[in-house]
Chain A
Amino acid sequence: MIPRFGPGSFNLVRVDEGERFQAMIEVHEQEEIPLPRILIVDDEPDFLRFLCLHFERQGHRVRVAGSVKDAIRLAEEFAPEILIADWMLGESMDGVDVCTYLRRRDSKLRTVLMTGRVDPPDFPMVAERVVDRRLDKPFFLEKLDTLLSELDVEQREGG
């Protein structure tokens, strides 16, 4: 089931970074148990946009980054609890590198690595330690939701 949209209003006509979906976020901040903060890193703008919309509608606070540099900057100020990163970012640092870097700064950070690659033997050793879930593209949003709730449970039990 696709989560139903909560109370409040939003305007999606303009998509300005940092300000988008502000109204929606405010709605969810009033809830008792705040949902985990999510940082999404991908080099596909549409992909970012739709994922962002999806999680915001669930009540998550979400930040999106189109590059590694943005991701690191946003992580500083936003302190995400969950990182969703695409593996191939078309830069010298890839998704695994971002996971490694941010996890070193915040060991509680849960990570999901999205990948379109079909060659699992290439999955680097380091990724085993810094990536909590691997998600092969294409995937349904429900699958992503499931992974997040699994991580949430693990987090609570571990914490």
Chain B
Amino acid sequence: MESKRYRDLLDGIPHAIQECDASGVITFASRSNQEISGFTPEELVGTAIWERLVAAEDRERLREYLTYIVEAQPPPTPYHCTEQTKDGRRLELRVDWRYRRDGEGNPIGFISCLTDVTQQRDAERQQQRTKAELEQRVQERTEELQSIYDAMVDGVLIVDVLHDRVLRVNQAAERIMGYTMEELEVTPFSRVVPPARSQRVLEKLKALQEGTLKIAQSLPCIRKDGSEVRVDVTGGSIRYQGVPAAIFFLREEMDRDPYEDFLLEAEKSLPQLAANMRDVFWLCDRDANRVLYVSPSYEQTWGRSREELYANADAFCESVHPEDRKALWRHLRGSEKRSGSHQRFRILRPDGSVRWIHNRSFPIRDASGHAFRAIRISEDVTEVVESERAMHRSERLASLGTLAAGIAHEINNPIGAALIAAQTAIAVHDDPNAKQVVVDCLRNVVEAMDRCGRIVRNILRLARDEPRERSLECLSEIIRHAVDMSRESARKRGVTILESLDPSSPKLLLNAMEIELVLLNLIRNATEAKGANIWIRTEESARHVRVVVEDDGEGLDDERRTRGFDPFYTSRLDEGGTGLGLSIAHRIVADHLGNITLEPRSPKGARAVVEFPKAEASARTGQVFVE
């Protein structure tokens, strides 16, 4: 009864119980063996325990082990083994065992408790494989990140925001900061970035704790050696190793090559620019002087097709006004070596109209400095030229008006005198005693009429509308004319004009009328300076001829010295000055490639100097500007 109870108890537990003798032959097997291995207790009893084992070496090892434990009797420890079930499945077992001893304590056999751990072991192995895989992946990823870190040009800096501690840096950060990685990792962030700035950044990051704050600013950083380096910092807040942290990307502010930026920019915008601008943009081959590109506006301005221009190398030259070709050609050849020169010329359009073009040229150089391309920018300035001419005319009319008022006075006086003289002569002509009176009267009439005639001639010369014609003129003669015209008004102001002119001075390429206007203006200014004398003389140097007009009047204040040539500046507004005289003079002289200066004269008075290049020089360069 008792034995049956024990047998049932043994059969009820989920582990298989086996009993074997000291030689390993099974003497008892519980019922649960069948559930685990498929073998019935009857099949098991009488077989050796190692016969169940799958691998031959396991069987051998178990036999040896059995011998060892029978002889040495070590304390029993559980072991694992692999068997086969009756239907051929692999079975992994955990074996717990105890000795069976006789009354004297000698081992006579073993009791084993077999547990099926197949599933458990499988799961363990699976877990191990997964773990190994994960570990490998992490390893790979870490190496990847590290190499990215180290290859980055930007520095990476991860900072523990709560403890103001640098957690991680990369090599670039080391280089930028001048600290090694180890040093940085023990350096407070606030020592790397000036506290005022770092505190603000950290405060912000702390307040936000985690997530979204992003910064982008230029920060000064203090290197280990104390020097300061400006860095562009971008970054945001993250969690790093479980703590709130900030990651910063540091980029040194590098001296970028501005030309490179420009090129990049230009490359993008040039085609658009060329296509949209009103000016005509040209790219020419310097050596062959062939047009490589011309912008679409060429067709509007020139009234010709671009295809024609590309096809025919002479098309450009043919479109230029014949009178301007030579000068333009000279300009292009010169300017495409030098930078930024400009030139005005006319073009003839197929419809017969003439347009004024203002051309600027620049050479493009290769690395060796050789100008291999030329850029031209041509602007249609016809309207500008026309309005300049209109302006010129109105300026001249304005000065003529001023002049005419003064001249009328000059003329009315002699005519008035002559009229009175003539009437007197008529009144007394038959009085034999009044013979001398008649003679005096007639002489007065003659003189007055002569004076009138001269003045009228001069006015006509001034009024003639042919300002651009230039011819070789004797400067002294022009000066004499101007002096003649001015002498009377000077005399009335008590001013004497003393001239010392060199009649043999070389002839200059001048517009006589314009230059006379200049001199009239200068003499009038000198006359009105409230002095007693005006000196006019000519001087000659190797390349220039100068006219010097001096007075001993009240001289120049600073304002008159600097503003004298400004249009509409006048110091004699109350006396009817228009303020145009000197500005016109200045422009006329500049047109003649000359120069005009005002300076104080010692001990008192003022000096105006007008300088002209000698004929040859002015003829050569002057032609460029002939309109």
On A, residues with C-beta under 8 Å from B are: 2, 5, 9-13, 43-44, 46-47, 49-51, 53-54, 57, 88-91, 114-119, 122, 136-141
CA of A105 to CA of B491, assembled, Å: 31
CA of A46 to CA of B411, assembled, Å: 16
9 other A-B residue contacts (CB within 8 Å) besides A54-B424, A138-B416: A12-B428, A46-B417, A53-B424, A57-B427, A88-B492, A90-B491, A117-B405, A118-B408, A119-B405
Nearest-neighbor residue (CB-CB) of A46 within chain B: B444
A97 to chain B, nearest CB (A): 15
Chain A residues, Cβ within 8 Å of B437: 12, 53
B505 within 8 A of A: no
Q: Could you jot down 17 A-B contacts, CB within 8 Å?
A: A2-B423, A9-B433, A46-B421, A46-B444, A50-B421, A50-B441, A90-B492, A90-B493, A114-B416, A116-B408, A116-B412, A117-B408, A118-B405, A137-B416, A138-B412, A140-B419, A140-B423
CA of A54 to CA of B415, assembled, Å: 17
Select one of B409, B416, B492 contacting A47, CB under 8 A: B416
Select one of A10, A47, A122, A139 contacting B433, CB under 8 A: A10
Chain B residues, Cβ within 8 Å of A114: 416
CA of A137 to CA of B416, assembled, Å: 5
CA of A139 to CA of B420, assembled, Å: 8
Chain B residues, Cβ within 8 Å of A2: 423, 426-427
B341 within 8 A of A: no
B238 within 8 A of A: no
**Do A137 and B413 contact each other (CB < 8 Å), given the known contacts A53-B424, A90-B494?**
yes
B351 within 8 A of A: no
Chain A residues, Cβ within 8 Å of B118: none
B410 to chain A, nearest CB (A): 8
| Contact-size category for B | 20 to 34
CA of A5 to CA of B415, assembled, Å: 25
Per DSSP, chain A at the interface is loop
Select one of B405, B412, B491, B493 contacting A136, CB under 8 A: B412
Chain A residues, Cβ within 8 Å of B419: 138-140
B431 within 8 A of A: yes
Contact yes or no, B441 A12, CB < 8 A: no
Chain B residues, Cβ within 8 Å of A140: 419, 423
Contact yes or no, A137 B426, CB < 8 A: no
Contact yes or no, A44 B413, CB < 8 A: yes
CA of A117 to CA of B413, assembled, Å: 9
Contact yes or no, B492 A43, CB < 8 A: yes
Nearest-neighbor residue (CB-CB) of A90 within chain B: B492
- A115, A117, A138 — most chain B CB neighbours (10 Å): A138
CA of A115 to CA of B411, assembled, Å: 11
**Do A53 and B428 contact each other (CB < 8 Å), given the known contacts A10-B433, A47-B416?**
yes
**Do A54 and B420 contact each other (CB < 8 Å), given the known contacts A2-B427, A116-B408, A122-B576?**
yes
Nearest-neighbor residue (CB-CB) of B494 within chain A: A90
**Do A118 and B409 contact each other (CB < 8 Å), given the known contacts A46-B421, A54-B427, A138-B415?**
yes
- A43, A46, A51, A117 — most chain B CB neighbours (10 Å): A46
Chain A residues, Cβ within 8 Å of B431: 5
B513 within 8 A of A: no
CA of A12 to CA of B441, assembled, Å: 12
A7 to chain B, nearest CB (A): 13
CA of A94 to CA of B427, assembled, Å: 31
Contact yes or no, A141 B408, CB < 8 A: no
Chain B residues, Cβ within 8 Å of A54: 420, 423-424, 427
Select one of B405, B416, B427, B444 contacting A139, CB under 8 A: B416
Chain B residues, Cβ within 8 Å of A57: 427-428
CA of A97 to CA of B437, assembled, Å: 32
Q: Which of B417-474 contact A (CB under 8 A)?
A: 417-421, 423-424, 426-428, 431, 433-434, 436-437, 440-441, 444
A80 to chain B, nearest CB (A): 20
Q: Which of B386-426 contact A (CB under 8 A)?
A: 405, 408-413, 415-421, 423-424, 426
